[in-house]
Chains A and B, each alone.
Chain A
């Protein structure tokens, strides 16, 4: 196991750690907006770390370009999706856990 392999496994480990913590946050945070926060932040950092770990295993060929393409694409689209989702949720009447439901409606739960 050479130097690059060690760095790459450390990056992969850190990536899975953040991915896992995001998944835990999906269950444990009190309202939808904090859950979006947990999911989207860890999504980005896990993608960066894990793809960086894989990049160290390539030898500057087409696969390097594809990995960078995946990284760029994920870094553009994943926060956008989270943003649009949070915006729709706010629009659809979901409240922060600190807010109380008012007369205009709004809820922390549906279905």
Chain B
């Protein structure tokens, strides 16, 4: 049964990808990319990778769609006619594809319990993490505790993405007050509904942030969802009002403080005489220490991701509004 659902979803995924290739209207392409992300998140759900599906749905379908639409508003809607020869790309693609298919022949059979991946690290996490970390959601234990270094690295990568976007685009603020009112002035219903939904969205983001120890979710997803709430506000009421609520400068401090909070936990555990990011020493009981550590670093991740996503949106949207007002 589930295999059939899997196959149908994969078929829809492939068809969407094919349709994207043959469309010239980039606006439609962006929307189909949103569907593509949703479909791949569905495939992850059916494969029982709930945390990955969460991230894909929030980041891939949500934030990237908004950013791609912002880019389209700056660059234009139709694809340029391709004048290059198509032979070389076809050659490269078919050689790469053949190499990849040849590579899969050596892979162990799908879902076999004797595969190397099920023999080496996974049993250790599954058997020992309830004793060592004690969280019901093992993905969070692995992500935040066993692989704390990797997650710190990812957070720094997200942070440096914000630095890169700010260095390239910057956030332009219109200083004078007589700039045209932006946002949907005529969409009265949308404004009222946005006012009702934004608190619900922020509430849900907080739930995802602090429930990540027990179910799917965590700092990354919560940060993106909270950012989506403020992006909704900015889209409906205009960027100027959104910047009055959370200013770009404040967001920069937030982004930096999240990374500092994360690294600070590591330094604190070093001062207690342990290794970097050794949560066992944060409290007298090692398991309680693990809980504190994971809670704090997830908060750091959430703050950084929220600030970075919103900063990138500000950067894109301020360019769009500026170029369209003139």
Contact = CB atoms under 8 A, between A and B. Distances in A.
Instruction: Give the dominant DSSP class at A's interface.
Output: helix
Taking residues whose C-beta sits less than 8 angstroms from the other chain, chain A's interface range is 10 to 19
A21 interface: no
Contact of B200 (A73, A83, A87, A111): A73
Interface stretch (B29-37, B88-96, B184-192): B184-192
B200 A80 contact: no
A8 B193 CA distance: 31
Nearest to A84: B190
A109 interface: no
Contacts of A76: 193, 196-197
B197 A87 contact: no
Contacts of B197: 73, 76-77
B174 interface: no
A91 B190 CA distance: 15
Contacts of A87: 186-187
A11 B187 CA distance: 35
A73 B200 CA distance: 9
B25 interface: yes
A87 B186 CA distance: 9
Interface residues of B, number: 11
Contacts, number: 22
Contact of B189 (A83, A91, A111): A83
B25 A80 contact: no
A84 B200 contact: no
A84 B235 CA distance: 13
B187 A111 contact: no
Interface string A43-87: 000000000000000000000000001000100110010011001
A18 B319 CA distance: 43
B189 A84 contact: yes
A76 B187 CA distance: 15
A77 B200 CA distance: 12
A80 B193 contact: yes
A77 B193 CA distance: 7
Nearest to A111: B25
Contacts of B184: 84
Contacts of A83: 189-190
Nearest to B203: A69
A69 B199 CA distance: 13
Nearest to A80: B193
Nearest to A83: B189
A69 B207 CA distance: 13
Contacts of B189: 80, 83-84
Nearest to A87: B187
A16 B187 CA distance: 32
Contacts of B25: 111
Contacts of A84: 184, 187, 189-190
Contacts of B204: 69
Contacts of A69: 200, 204
A87 B189 CA distance: 11
Interface in A85-103: 87, 91
A87 B197 CA distance: 20
> In this complex, which of A73, A76, A77, A80 has the most chain B Cβ atoms within 10 angstroms of its Cβ?
A80
22 contacts: A69-B200, A69-B204, A73-B197, A73-B200, A76-B193, A76-B196, A76-B197, A77-B193, A77-B197, A80-B189, A80-B190, A80-B193, A83-B189, A83-B190, A84-B184, A84-B187, A84-B189, A84-B190, A87-B186, A87-B187, A91-B186, A111-B25
Nearest 9 pairs between A and B by C-beta? A80-B193, A84-B190, A83-B189, A84-B187, A76-B193, A80-B189, A80-B190, A76-B196, A76-B197
